[in-house]
């Protein structure tokens, strides 16, 4: 009985700290070339801290990426990238993989969210959203993906 209680307590501690949230999950973060800004770096570090193996690649490598190995695709809008280019990237990524596709936009308007969802994204959110909320959202999407 003590061992079972210890396991439950350990699981609760891991969930609160985020260590086990993405255990055994692998993600690919697609972004434009250039400098990684603070909000992006923090979110990447948080997802890695939560246990996700994360590969960061540029859009230019899109046709060469072995999408079959990834559980999650994160597509970040480049600093100077126009919305139509983001939508085209969503469609290309969706054509290559059925894994959950999350899009992080620099500026988010309702019509952009709708267009992104219609293009094939599973979620379209602001890069400036809370890290905890984004990671919880990704976790919920991944739970459903792994069950299906």
Taking only the tens place, the pLDDT of each residue in 38-52 is 889 999 999 998 899
- pLDDT mean over 32-43: 88
Interatomic CA distance for residues 123 and 50, integer angstroms = 20
Which CATH architecture fits 21-147? 3-Layer(aba) Sandwich (3.40)
Query: Would you kindly state where each structural domain of the chain is located, as residue ranges?
Result: 21-147
DSSP string, 22-76: TTT-EEEEEE-SSPPPHHHHHHHHHHHHTT-EEEEEEGGGGGG--GGG-SEEEEE
Query: In the structure, what pLDDT confidence band is assigned to residue 62 with cuts at 50, 70 and 90?
Result: confident
Q: Which residues of 16-39 are buried (b: 16+ CB within 10 A; e: fewer)?
A: eebeebbeebebbbbbeeeeeeeb
Both tokens assigned to 20: 């086990």
- Give counts: helices (H), strands (E), the chain: 5, 5
Q: Among residues of the chain, what percentage have pLDDT more than 90?
A: 51
Is residue 128 predicted with pLDDT exceeding 60? Answer: yes
């Amino acid at each position: 009985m003590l061992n079972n209680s210890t396991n439950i307590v350990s699981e609760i501690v891991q969930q609160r700290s985020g260590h086990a949230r993405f255990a055994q999950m692998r993600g690919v973060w697609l972004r434009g070339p250039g400098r990684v800004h603070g909000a992006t770096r923090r979110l990447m570090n948080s997802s890695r801290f939560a246990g996700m193996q994360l590969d960061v690649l540029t859009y230019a490598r899109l046709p060469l990426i072995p999408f079959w190995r990834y559980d999650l695709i994160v597509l970040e809008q480049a600093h100077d990238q126009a919305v139509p280019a983001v939508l085209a990237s969503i469609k290309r990524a969706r054509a290559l993989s059925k894994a959950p596709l999350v899009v992080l936009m620099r500026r988010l308007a309702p019509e952009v969210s709708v267009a992104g969802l219609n293009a094939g994204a599973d979620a379209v959110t602001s890069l400036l959203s809370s890290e905890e909320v984004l990671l919880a959202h990704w976790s919920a999407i991944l739970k459903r993906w792994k069950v299906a």
